[in-house]
Chains A and B, each alone.
Chain A
């Protein structure tokens, strides 16, 4: 264990803890922008700089491990100047997109600029034309909104182990680029960690403001993993899927189906009642009528050919409980062992 003081408060933490983590433990909030709990510290934003007694250079709290006996200061005139400059520089040529940005209202950049009361930027630089192509058509990249925090690149590399995106170019010309389009799985990990509106879900564009949304926690129904997600609902329509970091078996990650495969929910082509073929045409029917018809036909088949003539196939999109009941029903009521499941592959 290592003991240090942060803003005069004594903290004891295990060796290897960063100053940022140690500060969290005693409720001292150090501003961060590029830091993300699920990623190794990136160190790109420099918002988290702190001073350590006896050392001339401010250091990033997110990347610096604690040492015994150090005295850390998280606020000073100098640190405020640095943080303000960092934000001001980000705002150089940042588009005035907030009114139409899908992230508006829950953008970390907005929050920090607000917190630091930045009302004017005296720095200028010539604008650069940037390439907006991206690894997947499901995600739109807005290079002018991108602050180059590198969370996306890091997430794709560290969480997914893929590395479909990287950064290219020198100095102000550097930007996020696609390095391997074929590798991208459209999982949306990058989208999930982006703190700004630089990456947006293209299916959701302009469909709803963040503060008007209802987020309904639920379980993904596509496969047996059971990832936790939130359906973003506005006016009874699902317009996006998001996740909470650290929640569920998926800890905030999803695959392409879970993240983007929700449009069927509100699809006009979706069946909402059973259909029965009458006179060669499928016609809407009630559940009672449909179920009676099925029971009737099953009984007839069973009487003539025995239960073994009937088989049941169920879906990975049902819960374990549903699947249990299904096989029980097939065995006990229908009298067959021909039961199978699409996820048994």
Chain B
């Protein structure tokens, strides 16, 4: 990597300006990407944490001008110092760059920067002046020269972006600080509008999202993250309880066309929503008789009532999209036909087949051996998958496995076991889910691995297992489990449910070569445009990423919708500014777990009321009870509004 000339990122100053060769100090606080996009090398960065300069030609005064202008434009106007103060600062910098600086300007800049930084209401004002203070301290000579020379400072080329730790971590980049603030101010409909700008399924995602945003919430450094997910659910439920039909503004693109969407899961539904909003004629093909994909067939009702899901998808239908249920692409209609009839096809068929464990007895198709996905599908459609069975063993440590065990109680299986080969610490399932399953009294068998399914007269009677211990870490960083010799034992059971993974049924492609697939049987699409090698075909969601999360599928569906719109309008599918910043922020981290905020914390996160574990486990009633208006507003008030701006010089 090219050397860094100066960095004050994170308050750690590295000044290589007068150093050479071995004396050059490394920068540990940030990794500045070499390129912003293919043809644009990154010369410098100014942002919430400081200043990083690589190219000695960077004009610090001009960079400060552009950055400060951006801060002022992003200031919301809700507190005095930031609203007016950053304007005063921006105008001074503008004046200096136009050759009309005054001697008192630098003093005023420093004083204002300090006051704004110390007392603004949110992070725009609190972080905005930080790099300016660094610049004024370490590059005073440059500013003085600009004032004294009275020459116009030539303007460079920059890219700027507003982000926030939570927003950056959210795959669909929901504007979390704003939708949370709307709740705090009691403007629930406005909050929903902000969410729906990107996501048509707030009630669904507000219940079951894996919430990477909360893991990147800056409030965590003070006490506990904001309950971002449940606040989303709150506004969705509020609207529903008022019986309001949302108004979706349809803004047709210059040119509109016809698009087929394969699969009515979260990915397909989100894509259909955005395309419909842009005025395109959308037809969704879904093989089942109801929408939602894995969120309907996989996720149980006690976590996500299907009425919520159905209503949110039906709204997309009422907006104007056509949904053809019980229409399987590949069987009822050929993909090639859809291609011929439409301007583009979006494939979001999910990852719907269970994978096998590879243990003895699995191929025999004993009664009582049911894949996790099938097991949940049956239960979700109101069937007991195997009424004769009472003792269940589920194998796996992910969310699907937890859903299988918790669902078992709800179809009257009294004895429910989970077998996982590592310990609770390594379990990929959500901690909350594990906790809820523990409360419902699932028997957890950790460090246990299946070896053989035992059967009598074609029926499962037990699962032979072996004890494991943790050895050396593998490539995922988790310690690899190894069998303990001679430790085999049998768990008596009549149902064995492998829930260790899923794979994709790509038969609709009929082996065609123009749509590439990987060896894990996922469809290959461009990471940022979701276009496959066949320009008319786009794909996202689980079938493109492998089994993943709902919000990732929604994000992919949205991206694909915008790409398809561009294609129909004859625009190139070049990466956007947002795409480039996405890549940029993978290196220049927006969230710093070690940040010391300097504020008083201690405001408890409001948790949801839950149904009692001993009764809830036998019903399909929703376990988590949503926030009341008051609770939601108090929780929203904890948000620190961590907006921040980065300006990149190229």
Contacts and interface: CB of A to CB of B under 8 A. Distances in A.
B86 interface: yes
Contacts of B81: 46, 82, 85-86, 89
B598 A55 contact: yes
Given A46-B80, A89-B81, A125 B88 contact: yes
B77 A174 contact: yes
A60 B640 CA distance: 13
A81 to B, nearest CB: 6
A65 B602 CA distance: 9
Count class of interface residues, chain A: 35 or more
Given A57-B599, A170-B73, A126 B91 contact: yes
Contacts of A92: 84, 88
Nearest to A169: B77
A133 B119 CA distance: 32
Given A59-B599, A122-B104, A170 B77 contact: yes
B249 interface: no
Interface in B49-96: 72-81, 83-88, 91
A123 interface: yes
A171 interface: yes
A67 B603 CA distance: 9
Given A89-B88, A122-B104, A123-B112, A170 B76 contact: yes
Interface string A58-89: 11100011010010000000100110011001
Contacts of B603: 65
Nearest to A176: B77
A123 B80 CA distance: 13
Contacts of A122: 104, 108
Contacts of B295: none
Interface string B591-607: 00000111110110000
A172 interface: yes
A171 B80 contact: no
B111 to A, nearest CB: 7
A144 B468 CA distance: 74
Contacts of A172: 72, 75, 77, 83-84, 87
Q: Identify which of A56, A58, A65, A171 gathers the most chain B CB atoms within 10 Å of its CB.
A: A171
Interface in B166-223: 185-187
B360 interface: no
Interface in A161-194: 163, 167, 169-175
Contacts, number: 125
Nearest to B114: A81
Interface in B95-153: 104, 108, 111-112, 114-116, 118-121, 126
Contacts of B115: 81-82, 85-86
A182 B266 CA distance: 38
B80 A89 contact: yes
A287 B342 CA distance: 89
A73 B637 CA distance: 24
Contacts of A167: 77-78
B175 to A, nearest CB: 14
A46 B111 contact: no
Given A55-B598, A57-B126, A46 B120 contact: yes
Name the residue in B79, B116, B126 with the highest tally of chain A Cβ atoms < 10 Å from its Cβ: B79
Given A123-B88, A171-B87, A46 B78 contact: no
Given A57-B598, A67-B600, A169-B77, A163 B187 contact: yes
A181 to B, nearest CB: 17
Given A55-B598, A57-B599, A171 B77 contact: yes
A60 B600 contact: no
Contacts of B637: 40
B121 A157 contact: no
A125 B115 CA distance: 17
A170 B90 CA distance: 14
A122 B600 CA distance: 33
B185 A157 contact: yes
A124 interface: yes
A46 B77 contact: no
Contacts of B91: 124-126
Contacts of A163: 186-187
Most buried by B among A46, A58, A157, A167: A46
Contacts of B80: 44-46, 86, 89-90, 147-148
B512 to A, nearest CB: 50
A296 interface: no
A154 B75 CA distance: 19
Given A45-B79, A89-B88, A56 B598 contact: yes
Contact of A49 (B85, B88, B119): B119
A150 to B, nearest CB: 7
Interface centre among B84, B121, B602, B603 (most CB of A within 10 A): B84
A173 B75 CA distance: 10
A172 to B, nearest CB: 4
A72 B637 CA distance: 22
Contacts of A85: 81, 85, 111-112, 115-116
Given A85-B111, A89-B85, A55 B119 contact: no
Contacts of A55: 598-600
B120 to A, nearest CB: 7
B84 A125 contact: yes
A81 B76 CA distance: 23
Contact of B79 (A40, A43, A65, A169): A43
Contacts of A44: 78-80, 121
Contacts of A124: 88, 91
Interface string A29-49: 000000000001001111001
A51 B416 CA distance: 55
A59 B640 CA distance: 12
A150 B81 CA distance: 14
Contacts of B596: 56
Contacts of A81: 111, 114-115
B118 A64 contact: no
Interface string A215-252: 00000000000000000000000000000000000000
Contacts of A150: 78
A324 to B, nearest CB: 41
Contacts of B76: 170, 174
Contacts of B119: 46, 49, 58, 60, 82, 86
B128 to A, nearest CB: 11
A157 B186 contact: yes
A136 B12 CA distance: 54
A163 B186 CA distance: 9
B513 to A, nearest CB: 51
Contacts of B84: 89-90, 92, 123, 125, 172
Interface in A116-131: 122-126
B356 to A, nearest CB: 55
Interface in A250-299: none
A171 B643 CA distance: 14
A49 B81 CA distance: 12
A52 interface: yes
A10 interface: no
A47 to B, nearest CB: 8
A44 B186 CA distance: 17
Contact of B186 (A56, A78, A158, A173): A158
8 interchain residue pairs of minimum CB distance = A174-B77, A56-B598, A172-B87, A57-B598, A89-B84, A85-B115, A171-B75, A171-B72
Interface of A: 40, 43-46, 49, 52, 55-60, 64-65, 67, 70, 78, 81-82, 85-86, 89-90, 92, 122-126, 147-148, 150, 154, 157-158, 163, 167, 169-175
18 contacts: A43-B79, A45-B80, A46-B121, A52-B600, A55-B600, A56-B596, A57-B126, A58-B119, A85-B81, A148-B78, A157-B186, A169-B77, A170-B73, A170-B75, A171-B75, A172-B77, A172-B84, A174-B78
Given A167-B77, A174-B76, 4 more contacts: A56-B596, A56-B598, A59-B599, A67-B600
